Structure 1
Amino acid sequence: MKPEFKIKPFKALSLTELYQILQLRSEVFVVEQNCVYQDIDGKDAKALHVLGMHEGVLVAYARLFMSGDYFEQASIGRVIVKPSFRDKKWGHDLMQEAIKGILEHYGETKITISAQLYLKKFYESHGFVPTSETYLEDNIPHIEMKRG
């Protein structure tokens, strides 16, 4: 059974949802990836938040930005699947929901992402193509990719 996805603006998030989002982002981006960085970057209030819930647990998450809020084009960021659920391949469902969310909420088809380099093939499977050389972001190799 796949997660139930919903997309919410920041102000519509419950305190429990916000707590789960920040907890999951910290679990993966700070602890698992051993990367000390400022996850709470002041951009969450502008974003739409894609939440993938399974039996009351946040198992997948991403945030969406309209063009001009992060990149020149619309963008998807903080793409994450809870480690204990990665074997279910729900990252693909998450990306489909995020791409659909950009179209439905912003009316945009062109999307830019800053992808961790090791996920390049994953994003290519969703129609993204590399548009930059590799660069370091928070000491992790990234690559800019675009779709549409």
Structure 2
Amino acid sequence: MLKTLVKTFQELTTQELYDLLQLRSEVFVVEQDCVYQDVDGKDQKALHVLGYIENKLVAYTRIFKPGDYFEEAGIGRVVVKETQRHHKYGNDIMEVSIQAVSQKYNVSEIRISAQTYLKSFYNNLGFLEVGEEYLEDGIPHINMLKTN
């Protein structure tokens, strides 16, 4: 069972911050072979959703209130450690993130910038494609919106 925590940037311990940056780098930079600026100055505004198995960070997202990233609330940097993906922790961390947006911001409309190959994953969570596919850091993405 995935143990989750939702924290502001200020509430993160140094170890939690290190672990989440390490996981994001491991997947987005190394595994996906994408050179980009992960530390983008937005973490300070975000709520951080951390997912643990046996005290090891295996899943993560960051969420934003409306207006801080998109016009709507947003979820981003959705990541699951490669060796843990078969456990469906992506669904778990997204469900907690969607619930956190609702509870913390009292809104149900959520926008994401999804890697295109994950469209069906996000469709299953209630997100629908909006607009055209585009390249972000050399990877095909599409905007998706959840309205309920």
- Cα distance in 2 between the residues matched to 1:87 and 1:128: 21
> Within 5 Å, which residues of 2 pair with 1:11-26?
11-26=10-25
Number of the residue aligned with 1:94: 93
Q: CA deviation at 1:85?
A: 0.5
Q: Secondary structure at the match of 2:132?
A: coil
Q: CA deviation at 1:44?
A: 0.1
Q: CA deviation at 1:136?
A: 0.1
Number of the residue aligned with 2:121: 122
Q: Secondary structure at the match of 1:12?
A: coil
Q: Secondary structure at the match of 2:131?
A: coil
Q: Can you give the 5+ residue segments of structure 2 that lack an aligned partner in the other structure?
A: none
Number of the residue aligned with 2:57: 58
Q: CA deviation at 1:132?
A: 1.3
Per-residue CA shift, 1:43-72, capped at 9, x if unaligned? 000000000011110010000000000000
- Cα distance in 2 between the residues matched to 1:139 and 1:38: 13
- Cα distance in 2 between the residues matched to 1:119 and 1:25: 17
- Cα distance in 2 between the residues matched to 1:90 and 1:44: 22
> Structure 1 stretches (4+) deviating beyond 4 angstroms?
none
Q: Secondary structure at the match of 1:13?
A: coil
Instruction: Please tell me the residue identity of whatever aligns with 2:96.
Output: E
- Cα distance in 1 between the residues matched to 2:12 and 2:53: 17
Q: Secondary structure at the match of 2:50?
A: strand
Q: Secondary structure at the match of 1:146?
A: strand
- Cα distance in 2 between the residues matched to 1:95 and 1:22: 18
- Cα distance in 1 between the residues matched to 2:42 and 2:67: 12
Paired residues, number? 147
> Within 5 Å, which residues of 2 pair with 1:27-106?
27-106=26-105
Q: Secondary structure at the match of 1:94?
A: helix
Q: Can you give the 5+ residue segments of structure 1 that lack an aligned partner in the other structure?
A: none
TM-score, length of structure 1 as denominator length: 0.98
The alignment-based identity, stated in percent, is 56
TM-score, length of structure 2 as denominator length: 0.98
- Cα distance in 2 between the residues matched to 1:42 and 1:115: 20
Number of the residue aligned with 1:140: 139
After superposition, the CA RMSD in angstroms is 0.4
Q: Secondary structure at the match of 2:10?
A: helix
Instruction: Please tell me the residue identity of whatever aligns with 1:143.
Output: I
- Cα distance in 1 between the residues matched to 2:75 and 2:139: 18
- Cα distance in 2 between the residues matched to 1:55 and 1:64: 24
